Amino acid sequence: MDLVVRNASLPDGRRQIDIAIDQGRIAAVGERLAVNAAREIDAEGDLVTPPFVDAHFHMDATLSYGLPRVNRSGTLLEGISLWGELKPELTQDALIERAMQYCDWAVARGLLAIRSHVDICDDRLLAVEALLEVRRRVAPYLDLQLVAFPQDGILRSPTALANLKRAIGMGVDVVGGIPHFERTMAEGAASVRLLCEFAAERGLRVDMHCDESDDPMSRHIETLAFETQRLGLQGRVAGSHLTSMHSMDNYYVSKLLPLIAESGVAAIANPLINITLQGRHDSYPKRRGMTRVPELLAAGVDVAFGHDCVMDPWYGLGSGDMLEVAHMGLHVAQMTGQEAMHQCFLAVTETPARILGLEDYGIAPGCHADLVLLDAGSTVEAIRLRAARRMVIRRGQVVSESPRSRATLHLPGRPAATAFRLER
Ligand code: FE2
């Protein structure tokens, strides 16, 4: 064996587990494995998880914060006008440089798979070319999946459809959309039909920005579920944001949830961004705006949490930490029950891995040897502490290390240090 990780706790609750790794894959998982390996890592009882997965991101805008100026008001509207000022000034080299830097942060956070939307409404397709290059460069250590995203509307923008087809032809993986931004409800529904038919024809996955609005009548998720079922796209379609569901009439939602479940459409909420941008037209009470996460889960729908933005015109915070995303999602959705907190951890690991269609993901014999050793004993503790990533392993190789979180104390009669963990 090349490597064995000993005495790990696993996300499913198993403890004192050894994980043997050979040639980049997991060879065996069990208690006290009798194997010799070139290298041994002692997890000391800490949590070892498959890598974090971000199901929703915008890598073409990331780390552009302050270019050409900061978003003073912190609002969506100023963010959109800022993006408009920045777009003509984007160069491919600068975009690649920022994306590569973000991928460094991601790896250090144990985030080894990202689905990024890329705006295809610029006729030069400069961002598409740049992110295809980034995908190629990071492939040894990070899976980057790209979505052709018509930011200005596939029907509303005159060149968007041709650009989307070109982007897919160049190697972009997934078909995107933004039905609530089309000119009318009918145009929005038509855009969903058109894009789903295109995806079905080409055998592609679909991930649309869908109903990112506080308007309870924004019901494009209904059309997305219907088209998914009609075209046999079950398990390959995701609705991102779905924030209008927060504001919808409860009776209508009682019809909608089973339709979504039946269609096999997954939901991707973006808690950091939804809690920031939704409800902005409200006085008080102010809506939270995140989609109905516990209710979707209870209906049997896959729900993942995405980061959406990090240091871009819309959001000046973030650092690629999916535990921060899970932490916010847990709070916004009030998912404080024991099982619910664990589900928030799955929403940034296993569930998005399934939505992206990642192959051989997990901790079982035959899976890729991609692992994260956390400075925490359980999934809930990992979220509570936004735990340090003691080690990040990709294909059996250690690609990043961080020290445990520990503070030295200078207090009379108290211990010399604390690690923020309950000693039992
Ligand atoms: Fe987004």
User: For residue range 360-418, what is the model confidence (pLDDT) as tens digits?
Assistant: 999 999 999 999 999 999 999 999 999 999 999 999 999 999 999 999 999 999 999 99
Q: From the DSSP assignment, how many helices (H) and strands (E) are in the chain?
A: 14, 18
Give the Cβ contact number of residue 162 at 10 Å: 11
What angle in degrees, to the nearest 10, is found between the helix axes of 220-230 and 185-202? 30
Per the listing, tokens 């494009």 go with: 220
Task: Please tell me the predicted confidence (pLDDT) of residue 424.
Answer: 57
Cα of 305 vs centre of ligand 1, distance in Å, is 12
- Is residue 31 exposed (0-12), middle (13-18) or buried (19+ Cβ within 10 Å)? exposed
pLDDT in tens, the chain (424 residues): 999 999 999 999 999 999 999 999 999 999 999 999 999 999 999 999 999 999 999 999 999 999 889 999 888 778 888 888 888 888 999 999 999 999 999 999 999 999 999 999 999 999 999 999 999 999 999 999 999 999 999 999 999 999 999 999 999 999 999 999 999 999 999 999 999 999 999 999 999 999 999 999 999 999 999 999 999 999 999 999 999 999 999 999 999 999 999 999 999 999 999 999 999 999 999 999 999 999 999 999 999 999 999 999 999 999 999 999 999 999 999 999 999 999 999 999 999 999 999 999 999 999 999 999 999 999 999 999 999 999 999 999 999 999 999 999 999 999 999 999 986 5
Cα of 36 vs centre of ligand 1, distance in Å, is 46
Measured between alpha carbons, how far is 313 from 69 in angstroms, rounded to an integer?
9
Contacting residues for 79 by C-beta, under 8 A, at least 6 apart? 71, 312, 313, 314, 315
CATH topology of domain 52-356: TIM Barrel (3.20.20)
Cα of 14 vs centre of ligand 1, distance in Å, is 35
Measured between alpha carbons, how far is 314 from 396 in angstroms, rounded to an integer?
37
The full DSSP string for 157-182 is STTHHHHHHHHHHHT--EE---GGGS
CATH 2.30.40.10 in the chain: give the residue spans: 3-50+362-408
Measured between alpha carbons, how far is 86 from 67 in angstroms, rounded to an integer?
7
Measured between alpha carbons, how far is 272 from 65 in angstroms, rounded to an integer?
16
Residue 212 designated active-site:
yes
Q: Which CATH number fits domain 3-50+362-408: 1.20.990.10, 1.10.10.10, 1.10.443.10, 2.30.40.10?
A: 2.30.40.10
Q: Record the pTM.
A: 0.97
Cα of 400 vs centre of ligand 1, distance in Å, is 28
Angle (CA) 8-10-12 rounded to 5° is 160
Cα of 140 vs centre of ligand 1, distance in Å, is 26
Residue type for 165, please? K
Measured between alpha carbons, how far is 194 from 312 in angstroms, rounded to an integer?
30
Cα of 151 vs centre of ligand 1, distance in Å, is 9
Which H/E stretch holds residue 135?
Answer: helix 126-138
CATH 3.20.20.140 in the chain: give the residue spans: 52-356
44, 187, 212, 423: which one is catalytic? 212
Q: What is the pLDDT of residues 13-57, one digit of tens each?
A: 999 999 999 999 999 999 999 999 999 999 999 999 999 999 999
Cα of 240 vs centre of ligand 1, distance in Å, is 7
Give all strands (DSSP E) within 184-319, no chain letters: 205-210, 237-241, 266-269, 303-305
Which residues are bridge partners to 121 per DSSP? none
Taking all residues of the chain, what is their mean pLDDT, rounded to a whole number? 96
